[in-house]
Structure 1
């Protein structure tokens, strides 16, 4: 245990470093992709793997890494992951080919899977006082939100001044700092009675998540294809086998008894619903800013800053409000504020919408941060200290699944609305219309090859159809968060907050 208050807060600063970087990495690659594509000339399949392999392995390994940290020590796992993440970042920065970049991104996913659950679990061991721990989790959440904002701005600046590899290379000094300060400032923590490790359970956990996330991403990209359906069904079947095995083992890899506590299970579900709604809109809004309103990437990133500033403020405010009001009430209010933000998004226009977007994003960013700071606190607080790593891994896996599912379901719904609403613009060549039906980006690219009047004839209905799809997605998001808010108010009551038995 970290002895003094000063050392505890310095330790927290160290734990926020990897969280900040992972959230930056989530947003910065999209800006670097055109530059690295021009340099490495990947095929379309390779480009998909460059983007997706990171999230596949991250999602697939979170449960394994969380329980592994409980067994071998969370600090040990965090430092090993930091070394792997730093080395993989350097490899990605100087990758001479698309194949090697895919390998580097895979290693980044493996390293990233060790970092997130380890940081949250170590906070559980460093901050034993519930009030201090709530503030620490608020700072942890604010660091994650801050990284989401920093990614587009930092990525845009780096790409204007350096080569594409610089967006990966920024990870290296931060990981070196973590490796230097971690051993001195972070206490070791592990389950004193971890039981026997079950390799088959580890394999089943990975085999569940990989096809499930892959299938959801395929749905988002290509619609409800046979490949996507088979992958999702395979993931669900293997997930059932994994759950059945955990219930029958005397010493399971993942203790499903955690879900027997209402505060834990409802908090995890609330996080999944929040990320589900957020991911769908965040998938569409950058396209709206750049393709419909015509903003440059860095300018578009700056217009998304209000959401992140509100997210940082909401996370920090949550800890203060929780001293005076029940967590269930604050979580519900946060989710209802976010639902109001989604309702505001239904007023976006084709040619003007920045004021509406700013107001709605402040409500969404602040509301979701307010709620999920406290749901994360409940997830960690109600779990026994020995199972903090597993609890953190379940929470992070929920985030990954919620994000993938949100993009797949809401993104696919928006795409269907877009294609249905586009119609057949008169006088526009069939090839251009065909390209426009694929994506809004395809419409913009096709319009560049057409004379002025025909380009406008294509872009006007395409922009209107895209905005209509975004509005429909916002309606779904509002309904989902309204449900989540009511659920939290009813089920996360103070009387139900007892800790899971050790």
Structure 2
């Protein structure tokens, strides 16, 4: 064990024998964390598939469908920092189990909701449960895998599970909606939660950070700025309305006060000084920008595969399998390379591969063949499989064990913000470019590609349908080019900030 690792352990005595760091036990810990991540990712993607069915069966209008999404995102983002601080204070295993219980119970009630209002309330509960779970997963991995080589392997598996949830969610959701009622997409969470609870109760032991005084003002400010910011970002594509403007002002002011308070406080909830660590700030901001670009990637790709190329939702989800396969294949290769080069070269190489994949995808059109598209998506998997675990390995290595929970929550907040901004900004670019290219097309056709195709089908106007597809492809290419530029910016930040260092020898 290195001197720095001994110092970290000394700082957090409760971690000294946590999770069986030597031997196979910590790999079972990884299985539990991956299960928790799978629950969260599957839920997010399954719900997107279920929205049209909810509109029909529950009679939910567009505003209520938006609230079903927002009711989860706002408490999830707003409670992350507080949940991370609580996990350090009261126990990461305890917060994980509480979060799983809240999420599972809320999912069960959501499955039997009789109207949109009840479903919105249960989605709020699921957001609270998800916020309690998320920081604990990463913080437990931080203290379970102090060795950088093994932490890289753990982060690789964690990243693969995240992408597997993104791809598997639409597949499972489509199957459930085809054979069962809409509530089955929420009921699916219950057995996964039960399995994760059993594993957590039997495999995890408790860990906490050193005792610190609670920071109530910091906790309140963190909830205000994160919740209002995420809500404003979600609503921003509908225009800079007075409520959105007020929310942005509140978010900005409360964030500024939060930073000043935490910087001056003797017992801060969030160690703002973490951003003074070049490895933490460099990897954190590069991940934020990648998540910004990925928001546009998922937004564009689903519409491109279904509305432009005419694939079914199931076929569109299957088309994403090259991403998962490439990530799995790259894990042992990237780990072996990282042992020789360290993580920074891997991070930079992965980000540049991702940028190249965005550029290649921007060159696709309606006639792009399956093999060409599969190759481009595989390149996304290679780039992500190299960059994401490297970034997470660097970031988690920069977080002291005593701040594992809140440090992980700070990263999770950046991820949520980056993804939400990506959907809002890139979505606006996509929508604006699409409507601008349609010229004098009828109003319904200008609102969305799906609306244009439906309008054209009713009127048997094949020329309008083709014009709409061409307009979308042109706008898609612009959106993906912006995404590529954002990823290159992330690579530049990582190159400037992250320090290059060699790995310590792997722990036996």
TM-score (norm 2): 0.92
Over 6 Å off, 4+ runs: none
In the alignment, structure 1 residue 206 sits paired with structure 2 residue 241:
no
Tell me which of 170, 179, 185 is aligned to 2:188.
170
SS of aligned partner of 1:137:
helix
Q: Give me the whole-angstrom Cα distance separating, in 2, the residues matched to 1:496 and 1:208.
A: 38
Q: Give me the whole-angstrom Cα distance separating, in 2, the residues matched to 1:112 and 1:349.
A: 38
In the alignment, is the contact (CA less than 8 A) between 1:263 and 1:497 conserved in 2? Answer: no
In the alignment, is the contact (CA less than 8 A) between 1:145 and 1:312 conserved in 2? Answer: no
Tell me which of 34, 44, 57 is aligned to 2:62.
44
Alpha carbon RMSD of aligned pairs, Å?
1.8
Tell me which of 342, 346, 353 is aligned to 2:362.
346
Of 79-88 and 223-232, the range deviating more from structure 2 = 223-232
In the alignment, is the contact (CA less than 8 A) between 1:335 and 1:368 conserved in 2? Answer: yes
Partner of 2:310: 294
CA separation of 1:264 and 1:497: change in aligned 2, threshold 3 A: farther
In the alignment, is the contact (CA less than 8 A) between 1:379 and 1:391 conserved in 2? Answer: no
1:22-101 mapped onto 2 (5 Å cutoff)? 22-101=40-119
Between the two proteins, the alignment pairs up a number of residues equal to: 486
Q: Give me the whole-angstrom Cα distance separating, in 1, the residues matched to 2:121 and 2:219.
A: 22
Residue 264 of structure 1 deviates from its aligned partner by 0.3
Of 88-97 and 37-46, the range deviating more from structure 2 = 37-46
Q: Give me the whole-angstrom Cα distance separating, in 2, the residues matched to 1:320 and 1:61.
A: 37
In the alignment, structure 1 residue 318 sits paired with structure 2 residue 334:
yes
In the alignment, structure 1 residue 20 sits paired with structure 2 residue 38:
yes
Of 352-361 and 106-115, the range deviating more from structure 2 = 352-361
CA separation of 1:276 and 1:105: change in aligned 2, threshold 3 A: same
Q: Give me the whole-angstrom Cα distance separating, in 2, the residues matched to 1:312 and 1:199.
A: 43
Partner of 1:462: 468
SS of aligned partner of 2:407:
helix
Residue 142 of structure 1 deviates from its aligned partner by 1.4
Q: Give me the whole-angstrom Cα distance separating, in 1, the residues matched to 2:70 and 2:115.
A: 17
Q: Give me the whole-angstrom Cα distance separating, in 2, the residues matched to 1:110 and 1:239.
A: 21
* Structure 1 gap segments, 5+ residues each: 426-432
Q: Give me the whole-angstrom Cα distance separating, in 2, the residues matched to 1:335 and 1:378.
A: 14
SS of aligned partner of 2:456:
helix
Partner of 2:323: 307
Of 333-342 and 137-146, the range deviating more from structure 2 = 137-146
In the alignment, is the contact (CA less than 8 A) between 2:340 and 2:503 conserved in 1? Answer: no
For residues 338-397 of structure 1, give each alpha carbon's deviation from its aligned partner in whole angstroms, at most 9, with x where no partner exists.
111011012111344544432222222321232121111122111111101111111111
Q: Give me the whole-angstrom Cα distance separating, in 2, the residues matched to 1:84 and 1:317.
A: 39
In the alignment, structure 1 residue 369 sits paired with structure 2 residue 382:
no
For residues 268-313 of structure 1, give each alpha carbon's deviation from its aligned partner in whole angstroms, at most 9, with x where no partner exists.
0010011111111211110111122222111111112222332344
Partner of 2:276: 260
In the alignment, structure 1 residue 146 sits paired with structure 2 residue 152:
no
1:89-128 mapped onto 2 (5 Å cutoff)? 89-128=107-146
SS of aligned partner of 1:494:
coil
Residue 471 of structure 1 deviates from its aligned partner by 0.2
Tell me which of 273, 277, 298 is aligned to 1:282.
298
CA separation of 1:315 and 1:69: change in aligned 2, threshold 3 A: farther
For residues 112-146 of structure 1, give each alpha carbon's deviation from its aligned partner in whole angstroms, at most 9, with x where no partner exists.
11112101101112223222222112111111111
Q: Give me the whole-angstrom Cα distance separating, in 2, the residues matched to 1:344 and 1:181.
A: 42
In the alignment, structure 1 residue 180 sits paired with structure 2 residue 198:
yes
1:389-428 mapped onto 2 (5 Å cutoff)? 389-425=405-441
Residue 226 of structure 1 deviates from its aligned partner by 4.2
In the alignment, structure 1 residue 488 sits paired with structure 2 residue 505:
no
For residues 216-250 of structure 1, give each alpha carbon's deviation from its aligned partner in whole angstroms, at most 9, with x where no partner exists.
11223x24444433322321221111111111211
Q: Give me the whole-angstrom Cα distance separating, in 2, the residues matched to 1:260 and 1:345.
A: 36
In the alignment, is the contact (CA less than 8 A) between 1:153 and 1:301 conserved in 2? Answer: yes
Q: Give me the whole-angstrom Cα distance separating, in 2, the residues matched to 1:276 and 1:356.
A: 25
TM-score (norm 1): 0.93
Q: Give me the whole-angstrom Cα distance separating, in 2, the residues matched to 1:315 and 1:256.
A: 32
Of 489-498 and 296-305, the range deviating more from structure 2 = 489-498
